[in-house]
Amino acid sequence: MAKVKGSKQHQMVVVPHRPLYKAWIFCLFLVAMVAFSLLTYEYGMNQGLETKVEVLKEKEEIQTQLEDSRRQMTEMRQELADLKLGGEIDTRANEEVRQTVEGLQDQIAGFREEIRFYKGVMLPNVEEKGLRIERLNVENTGEPNKYKYSLLLTQVVDKHDFVQGGVEIALLGSEGSSEKQLALSELSEMNEEKLARIRFRFRYFQNIDGELSVPVGFKPREIMIIAKSSGRNGQRLEKKFAWQLNGG
């Protein structure tokens, strides 16, 4: 018997028609999805809140540590400033003490020199007695080529009577290649008549003060002092001082 060829036949299944069942399934799926979404959102919210709380706590801790660090830094800066100030004060105080000590030492040396001087005048124990050219100081006046001088004369005797006489002052030096000697009349603005009357009269000591105007181009080397006392026991003294400025 011959077989008949044709299209493949599929088996058919008959199911009942239930539209409400599909709707119920869909609603159940929808409810499940909503519930899952709510649970996921709630979980995420809880995790976010916990994370936020931890971040806030860490932020507060960091802020506290930062404030502590700032406070410590301020304290350290203040301590450093105090140490610097204390060091400066100590250095300044030490310098002031040093200067004070040096000043006192200079004063003591000056007092000792004065005591020695007065002892020599009032209580002489030297063999050379009579009129003495004690010392000469020369200082700047602040004006070009002008100087002020102070000459000290003393009398060393057992019995202090008045001594009187005159003083001559001359400046020794060079001008160019020539040696020159300038008298006081050439070194002062005073006239010769007044210069000739530079007199002294004292019992113990006397200072003679004046000014010198050194000519431009003249280089001083020495100052020569000649002191002459009058009377029966008159003396003539001559002493040279190197040209040296004091305090100038």
Contact (Cβ atoms closer than 8 angstroms) between residue 146 and residue 211? yes
pTM equals 0.53
pLDDT above 70 for 32 = yes
Nearest C-alpha neighbor of 182 from the set 151, 213, 210, 207? 213
Can you give the pLDDT at residue 193?
44
pLDDT above 60 for 220 = yes
Residue range 189-202: mean pLDDT, rounded: 66
CATH number for region 127-242: 2.60.40.1400
Residue range 15-44: mean pLDDT, rounded: 70
More confident residue, 108 or 15: 108
Instruction: Show Cβ contacts of residue 192 under 8 Å, excluding neighbours closer than 6 positions.
Output: 185
Kindly report, residue by residue over 95-152, the tens digit of the pLDDT.
Answer: 777 777 777 777 777 767 666 666 666 555 555 678 889 899 999 988 888 999 999 9
More confident residue, 245 or 221: 221
What is the chain's mean pLDDT, rounded? 77
Chain centroid to Cα 177, Å, comes to 47
